[in-house]
Structure 1
Amino acid sequence: MTSRRNRSLLTFVGAAILWYFAAITPSTATAGSPDPARITVEGFMFNPMALTVKAGSTVIWTNMDDDPHTVISDTGLFRSGAMDTNDSFSFKFDKPGTYRFICSIHPRMVGTIVVQ
């Protein structure tokens, strides 16, 4: 029981640290940028949940949870397979618009990419 409680506490603390750094770090990538925009999947949430990028940018989702997750566009534009711990999925956003996505395994996990 103590191990489970410690794991939950570490997950919470890790999510809080990621949230803090996401809040102070710009989350916008520019077209042609050598560094793609990144979203972490941890604590059963996408971080950041909303991201704005320029057309032509690539977004990379990386699963940091011990449980598998997916990234699926609500329109079917992109779809990852099940990502295990440390697995990643990327997609290049060529056209401006708003793109919503979920984890099909945990549908309460949602996020949005705004492409300018």
Structure 2
Amino acid sequence: MNRISLARGRPWPAALIAVGGMLLPAACGWGQDTMSSPAARSAPRANAPAGAMPGMRMHGGSGSGAAPAAAPVAANSVSIKGFAFAPASVSVKAGTTVTWTNKDEEPHTVVANGGAFHSAALTPGGVFRYRFTKPGSYPYVCSIHPFMRGTVVVTP
């Protein structure tokens, strides 16, 4: 067994690491991969969206954190799956109700940037509906995961 000598010459098992006054077993993964240092854990990954939490699996989206660039899809339902809104941009006529359904394993919200609408946290299987009465563009995010973005375009 590897041993680390500390003050007073006492050997300690290398399986225990002192961090900020706490002992952490090496089985937790510290020192065993490229993400072991605090700097590496806080550095953004090349394939992670802006604002993504370290260690979070990403299943969808552009990865850039930018507003969706795709043309709006004529649809009145949006799925929330893989930490993304799909389709990311929808187009509806004024008076249409849009329905968001959380098909993910994590809670999400649907929050308009301008405050026009705001859902409660949608647990898996949860549904949020909003009726759009005025033409315009309504960008929105998940307030829990702000890298998740979408837009509803309302036409007359």
Question: Does TM, scored on the shorter chain, surpass 0.5?
Answer: yes
- 2:119 maps to a residue whose letter is S
Compare CA radii of gyration and give the structure with the larger one: 2
Aligned equivalent of 2:116: 77
Q: TM-score, normalised by structure 1?
A: 0.71
Structural RMSD (CA):
1.9
Q: Which of the residues 89, 92, 95 maps onto 2:128?
A: 89
Higher helix share: 1
Q: Which letter maps to 1:28?
A: A
Segments of 5+ residues of structure 1 without an aligned counterpart are 1-7, 16-26, 30-36
By how many angstroms is 1:103 displaced? 0.1
| Conserved? CA contact 1:28–1:54, under 8 Å | no
Count the aligned residue pairs.
Answer: 88
TM-score of the superposition, structure 2-length normalised?
Answer: 0.53
Structure 2 segments unaligned to the other structure (5+ residues): 1-56, 61-72
Residue 53 (1) aligns with residue 98 (2): no
Q: Which has the higher contact order (CA 8 A, sep 6+)?
A: 1
Moved over 3 A (4+): none
Check whether the contact 1:58–1:93 (CA below 8 A) recurs between aligned residues: yes
Equivalent position of 2:74 in the other structure: 28
Q: What is the Cα deviation at residue 112 of structure 1?
A: 0.4
Identical pairs, percent: 45
